[in-house]
Amino acid sequence: MASAQGPRVVADNGLDDAPKLDWLLVPGGIGTRREVDNARLLEWLRARAATAERITSVCTGAAVLARAGLLDGLRATSNKAVFSWVQSQGPNVTWVPGARWVHDGRFSTSSGVSAGIDMTLDLIAQHVSADTSEALAKAMEYEWHRDPSWDPFAKVWGLV
């Protein structure tokens, strides 16, 4: 399948033959509007999340997790430009509008793409080391925002 930008991605495994996953990342983007109604995907996510150590999402991937019921009773966030749509996918989720990312138990959700990088660096610091996260940020020439409550886009989109 081609992305909205054109490049194609070819997966090594499909839903039926995917190996056990320690960590699971649900990406966002315009395709999530279709996938929130994909019953087969939602069931697969529920089954995989039951055994994964960590479940994460970037951007509107949180809508897919929410629609699967995986975020019920948890705190989560998502892309601020489409926050109300994401909220509508999970009425039993405590949505946090003013957060760059949110960790709640085994689940971590982030706002947009750069917030996802910040969340990932934070997870690497927790699970590997802060030095490793620092080295990765430096190698990417990326300015790592370490404060999950620093979210200027919540204000831009009128959420706080």
Residue 51: the pLDDT is: 96
Residue 1: the pLDDT is: 66
Contact 100, 149 (CB under 8 A): yes
Active site (catalytic) residues? 59
pLDDT in single tens digits along all 160 residues of the chain: 677 778 888 889 999 999 999 999 999 999 999 999 999 999 999 999 999 999 999 999 999 999 999 999 999 999 999 999 999 999 999 999 999 999 999 999 999 999 999 999 999 999 999 999 999 999 999 999 999 999 999 999 999 9
Tokens representing 109 are: 């959700």
What is the DSSP track for 47-72?
HHHTT-SEEEE-TTHHHHHHHTTTTT
Whole-angstrom distance, CA of residue 148 vs CA of residue 116: 11
Q: How far is CA 139 from CA 41, 118, 130, 134, in A?
A: 35, 14, 14, 9
Residue 66: the pLDDT is: 98
State pTM to two decimals. Answer: 0.94
The burial of 62, by beta-carbon neighbours within 10 Å (0-12 exposed, 13-18 middle, 19 or more buried), is given as buried
Which segments of 6-151 does DSSP mark as H helices, in order? Answer: 32-35, 39-49, 61-67, 83-88, 113-127, 130-140
Residue 104: the pLDDT is: 98
Q: What are the structural domain ranges in the chain?
A: 23-156
Residue owning tokens 């629609």: 67
Q: Which residues contact 149 (CB under 8 A, 6 or more apart)?
A: 98, 99, 100
Contact 91, 143 (CB under 8 A): no
Question: Under CATH, which number does the domain 23-156 receive?
Answer: 3.40.50.880
Contact 86, 63 (CB under 8 A): yes
